[in-house]
Structure 1
């Protein structure tokens, strides 16, 4: 598993755009993690799946609600990372009103989750391989804070935990 002080591995993530914007075409667009993190402070929170109870009821809404405070704490961007496709992530983002606050980053085949050692096998629950529930602060691609949940828990990866860590 990735650790504090390590550079995050590169992978290709996808983000869905409704309209042409900043050189991106409508629909899914692919991005290299290593390119996106250069010179930036990014909070990434990962979760098992879009539209699931804890993810939709607590985890994602917490980051949407704390957006302004996270920016005030020096964060450049907030990403939601999930092993879902870009179409699902966009629909979920639309429902959760993430536009302009949280980038909904799809990792359809768990490439980045696996590269970081943050994948979990939920095949027995009909979900396949998914990301663990976690939160990371990256500075220029280096992990400065890492919070990984125990299976089935939501205790250490919230937006409030990240804010507290950034303030200390």
Structure 2
């Protein structure tokens, strides 16, 4: 399992972009993790699935609400990662009004989840291999803090906990 001091895995996530910009066309765009994290402080949190009850009602909304506070604490970007495709992550982001606040990154093949060692097998519930629920603070591609939830829990990966950690650095 990834731990503080380790580098983020050199995999590619996907992001649905609704408005074209320099280097990004409309639709799914690759986000090479190592390149995207270089030189930045990132508040990264992962959820088992878009639109799932705790993720939709508590986890993501906390980060959207605290986006400005994260910036004030020196965080350059907030990333939400889930084992969903970029289209689902884009739709979830639209519904939760994440534009300009949280980057919604799809890990469709669970490549990032597997590389971090933070997978969650929900096959018996019809969801297959997913990401565990966690948050981490990342500086220049290296994990500084890591908060992994126990099974079925939502106690340590919330926005307030990670914001407090960001403020203390």
Match of 2:150 in 1: 150
- Give the secondary structure class of the aligned counterpart of 1:98: coil
Match of 2:34 in 1: 34
CA contact (8 A) 2:75 2:166 kept: no
Q: Which runs of 4+ in 1 moved over 3 A?
A: none
CA contact (8 A) 2:43 2:75 kept: yes
Tell me how far 1:9 sits from its aligned partner: 1.1
| 1:40-79 → structure 2 map (5 Å cutoff) | 40-79=40-79
TM-score, normalising length from structure 2?
0.98
| 1:75-154 → structure 2 map (5 Å cutoff) | 75-154=75-154
Match of 1:13 in 2: 13
- Give the secondary structure class of the aligned counterpart of 1:24: coil
Separation (CA, whole Å) in 2 of partners of 1:17 and 1:166: 27
Match of 2:159 in 1: 159
Match of 1:25 in 2: 25
Corresponding residue pairs, total? 168
- Give the secondary structure class of the aligned counterpart of 2:20: coil
Tell me how far 1:167 sits from its aligned partner: 2.2
- Give the secondary structure class of the aligned counterpart of 1:147: strand
Larger CA deviation: 51-60 vs 21-30: 21-30
- Give the secondary structure class of the aligned counterpart of 1:95: helix
- Structure 2 spans left out of the alignment, 5+ residues: none
TM-score, normalising length from structure 1?
0.98
- Give the secondary structure class of the aligned counterpart of 1:156: coil
- Structure 1 spans left out of the alignment, 5+ residues: none
Separation (CA, whole Å) in 2 of partners of 1:118 and 1:21: 32
